[in-house]
Amino acid sequence: MDSTALTAAALDRLRNVRLYAETYGCTYNAGDTEKIIEIAKAQGCTVVDTAEDADAVLINTCIVVDKTEKHMYERMSLFAGKILIVTGCLPGISIERVLAACPDAGIIDPDLIHSCYREVGTVSSGDHAVLQIARGCNGHCTYCITRLARGKLVSFSEEDIVAQAERFVEAGVAEIQLTAQDVSSWGMDMTSGRRLPDLLRSLCNIPGDFHIRVGMANPDTLLLILDDFLDALTDPKIFLFLHVPVQSGSDAILKTMGRRYTSAAYEEICRRARERFPDIRISTDYIAGFSGETDADGKASVDQILSTKPGKVNITRFSVRPGTPAAKMKKLPEPIKKERSRALTNAANQVYDANNEAWIGRTVEAVVTEVVRAGSVTARDRTYQNIVVMQEIPIGTKIRVEITGHRRHYLLGRLASE
């Protein structure tokens, strides 16, 4: 099927209608949805908050695990009688199945969204903005279906990225979230020699009062630029937050996963980052119960959490995805995967509590980034700590906060007296 023609036809249906959008999965998908909405608005659409009020429904799909993929089909089935537009990773691997389930669905190839959006170029106003810097990945992870859907690395041009960031800042955005399937690989497919630290410096040169959160960086590509990257983090516009997914503390499992680094390499990143910035907040990911994982392998991951003390741990039970090399590997029973996941969660919770206790009594500079509920706000300090302050304060306000307690997944604070 001609994806360009399908995409053009789908976008053409988004004219002068009321549009409702649902986005699943990663921050990158959220960025794609924002771009499609801007295209639709340029074509006379209005965005509504519920499907009941909409003429057209956009579903931006995720397929990272089997349960999520099944949920995508459940959501699509609910919108018979409306204009249904589907994008995201699902069409990239199962377009025939999507059209079999929903013959009237319009399909937008996610690889074409960026080029279509360039003709519009507007940005939505809001507190946060997603800034995509590349799509695809040059990794060879045996379990990953996303790389089959998204393809090889394609870095977006520095000119496009900076121009979009400038529009975000002009619109009053307080936080720009850089995203890609692997942020630290930006530029590695280009001949210019420019790499992520160069891009960060260009973004920080944009006048305005905003902060940048750098998205997920794989250990193997981050190591290639680590010193220069850490130099770039000295700019106060960049949060001292590092998302580096290790996936396992066992070298044997990392090899089976097709990850191109060792557990020691990940630990080196943590060590070197903390040598430069002792308070830097490190987030990581683990897959529980990967094929072939022994008790010793599982324990290695638990021990690694306890020794590296990450500020956030994302844990996923291994889910077989069709078409990947891991689909042919022997699977562990679900009870074992559940047990391994619970052990990782318990270790992470232990680390969270210890990390948070160490912050109580400290006073930090922070910026208000969102309203949680009436009467409270969330502020972020330089390390991207989640600090809830029980007070109404405008978004973007810089404050000094005394940390008074925690609720494991966030800190509690109050405005510090001068």
Segment 358-381, tens digit of pLDDT: 999 999 999 998 887 889 999 999
For 3-113, the fitting CATH number among 3.40.50, 1.20.120, 1.20.1180, 3.90.226 is 3.40.50
The pTM of this model reads 0.93
Distance CA(417)–CA(114), nearest Å, equals 47
- Cβ(375)–Cβ(391) below 8 Å: yes
DSSP state of 417: P
pLDDT score of 53 more than 90? yes
- Cβ(362)–Cβ(406) below 8 Å: no
Compute the Cα dihedral for 197, 199, 203, 205 and give only its sign. positive
Q: Is 5 helix (H, G, I), strand (E, B) or coil?
A: helix
Residue whose entry in the numeric block shows the structure tokens 């908050």 = 49
Judge: domain 124-357, CATH 3.30.870.10: no
Distance CA(162)–CA(167), nearest Å, equals 9
Averaged pLDDT, 152-179 = 95
Question: Is the model more confident about 151 or about 285?
Answer: 285
Q: Where are the alpha helices (DSSP H) in 27-145?
A: 27-42, 66-77, 89-101, 113-118
Distance CA(415)–CA(397), nearest Å, equals 12
Averaged pLDDT, 59-79 = 92
pLDDT on residue 136: 94
pLDDT on residue 176: 96
**DSSP per position, 325-363:** GGGGSPPPPHHHHHHHHHHHHHHHHHHHHHHHHTTTT-E
pLDDT on residue 2: 81
Characterize 132-154 residue by residue with b for buried, 16 or more Cβ atoms within 10 angstroms of its Cβ, and e for exposed.
Answer: bbbbbbbbebbbbbbbebbbebe
pLDDT on residue 370: 86
Distance CA(245)–CA(208), nearest Å, equals 31
- 177 contact partners, CB below 8 Å, separation of at least 6: 27, 128, 129, 130, 131, 212, 213, 215
Give the whole-number percent of the chain exceeding pLDDT 90.
87
Segment 162-174, tens digit of pLDDT: 999 999 999 999 8
pLDDT score of 418 more than 70? no
Q: How would residue 125 be classed by pLDDT, with cut points 50, 70 and 90?
A: confident
pLDDT on residue 126: 79
Angle between helices 27-42 and 3-12 (to 10 degrees): 60
pLDDT on residue 124: 82
Segment 248-299, tens digit of pLDDT: 999 999 999 999 999 999 999 999 999 999 999 999 999 999 999 999 999 9
pLDDT score of 320 more than 70? yes
Both structure tokens of 52: 């009941």
Q: How would residue 1 be classed by pLDDT, with cut points 50, 70 and 90?
A: low
Q: Secondary structure of the chain: what % helix, strand, coil (to 5)? A: 40, 20, 35
pLDDT score of 50 more than 90? yes
Radius of gyration, alpha carbons of the chain: 22
Domain positions in the chain are 3-113, 124-357, 363-415
CA atoms within 13 A on the CB side of 22: 20
Judge: domain 363-415, CATH 2.40.50.140: yes
Average pLDDT over the chain, rounded to whole? 94
